[in-house]
Amino acid sequence: MLDEHEYQRYDRQIALKCVDIEGQERLKATRILVIGAGGLGSAAAPYLASSGVGHITISDFDKVELSNLHRQTCFIENDIGRYKSEAMCDRLLANNSHISCVPITSKQSSQLLTETIIEHDIVLDCTDNKPTRELINEICWQQKTLLISGSAIRTEGQVGVFTANKNEACYQ
């Protein structure tokens, strides 16, 4: 499943017993949906791409602004005015041409969000508002999709992992 270039690129990761070739191939086969390309998404997505996650979808309908650049380090001044999801996909693909990245630039209805989540193995909730977080949680719970939810305000943050197993908590 990995080509020669990928073996070279991920050599130090593959050397780890907890990853090895099988783990790297699983990463390549994984489909992750990152919802929110702001500060958290801008921090998480480049690591996903660098590690070899095979398919990343970035969902964000906001555009890059000058006031974003100090904390949304995935963007540069030339990105100002562009959709964050498109600019981020360009950056991820420039770093790793062996992955695929799809931007979603429109606000998604509950129905479209459900359809998008169904297509992915893992959802990273990097949004910044409670109603959206609750909707993502509800859909992930219904679809039994692994949800990783992060939030930050000022200098504080939190992260939670929700497996959607019957006897485990969800975000709500």
- Torsion angle of the four alpha carbons 113, 118, 121, 124, in this order, in degrees rounded to the nearest 10: 10
* Percent share of the chain, pLDDT over 90: 84
The string of pLDDT tens digits covering residues 47-89 is: 999 999 999 999 999 999 999 999 999 999 999 999 999 999 9
pLDDT at 153: 80
Q: How far apart are CA 97 and CA 85, in angstroms?
A: 17
Q: How far apart are CA 18 and CA 45, in angstroms?
A: 21
**Do residues 52 and 10 lie in contact, with contact meaning Cβ atoms separated by under 8 Å?**
yes
The gap from C-alpha 33 to its chain's centroid, in whole angstroms, comes to: 5
Tokens 């939670």 sit on residue:
160
Q: How far apart are CA 150 and CA 18, in angstroms?
A: 24
Burial pattern 101-133, b for ≥16 Cβ within 10 A else e, equals bebbeeebeeeebbebbeebebbbbbbeeeebb
Structure confidence at residue 120 as a pLDDT band (50, 70, 90): very high
Element (H, E) at 58: strand 55-59
Domains of the chain listed by start with CATH number: 29-162 (3.40.50.720)
Tell me the torsion sign for CA atoms 4, 6, 9, 10.
negative
**Do residues 35 and 9 lie in contact, with contact meaning Cβ atoms separated by under 8 Å?**
no
Give the contacts of 30 (CB within 8 A, at least 6 positions apart). 53, 54, 55, 121, 122
pLDDT at 83: 98
pLDDT at 70: 93
Q: How far apart are CA 28 and CA 26, in angstroms?
A: 5
The string of pLDDT tens digits covering residues 10-55 is: 999 999 999 999 999 999 999 999 999 999 999 999 999 999 999 9
